[in-house]
Amino acid sequence: SDQFHYLHHKHFECNYGPGDCPLDRWFGTFKDKIVTKAEAAPDAHDIPGTDASDTDAPGRGAAVHDAKSTLFGFPEIGSFVYMLGAVLLPLAALVGAMRDPSSLPTAVGPLNGAQAVALLCSAGPVLVGLLLLLVTDRKAHSRPRFTFTSPFHKEGLVGALGLHLAVGVAVTVVPVYHMVHMVLAPPGLSAYCSLHGC
């Protein structure tokens, strides 16, 4: 979304960015300058998605071409599958929204059709990302906690990691679920109508 977000994904060990949102300061992940591998945490070179030769030599970081920053060529298979899913999931929701609500499947397991599509659109990208990480990362099976929770792998589930997960679900998965469900469900069955009556 911006240059700071790009730097976060390129270097991955912390969040570079403006101090307007205090979460990074509270959790100790805020940095105001790019650190070298020597200055980083001892296990920073093991973080998935980083290149060990990235910034080892002084002044070398800017000279090394970043393979992720090009628009030419075919992306890595994991990125391609994820982006394909990111395009297909909203299309599935759009097709569902354009159909008569009664034409959606009445049940998909314990969920009705609108709930199933809403869950797929809200939690699907997260689950697909975790699955792709499991399949494409060579060290995922030997150290799953590190793979799936880095850079918070040293935190307990009760504490910073748990709070990050809870806030992440609350501000991303839950609103998307309710928005898609409201669009697809028959009138009067949205969460708003359940709480306030319609």
CA distance 153 to 180: 32
Question: What local confidence, expressed as pLDDT, does residue 20 receive?
Answer: 60
CA–CA gap between residue 91 and residue 68 (Å, rounded) = 26
Residue 11 — φ and ψ, nearest 5°? Answer: -100, -25
Whole-angstrom distance, CA of residue 78 vs CA of residue 49:
12
pLDDT tens for residues 159-193? 778 888 898 899 999 999 999 888 888 888 888 88
**Which residues in the chain show pLDDT less than 50?**
1, 44-65
Give the global pTM.
0.62
> Quick one: pLDDT at residue 62?
43
Across the chain, mean pLDDT equals: 72
- Alpha-carbon distance of 50 to 13, in angstroms, equals 9
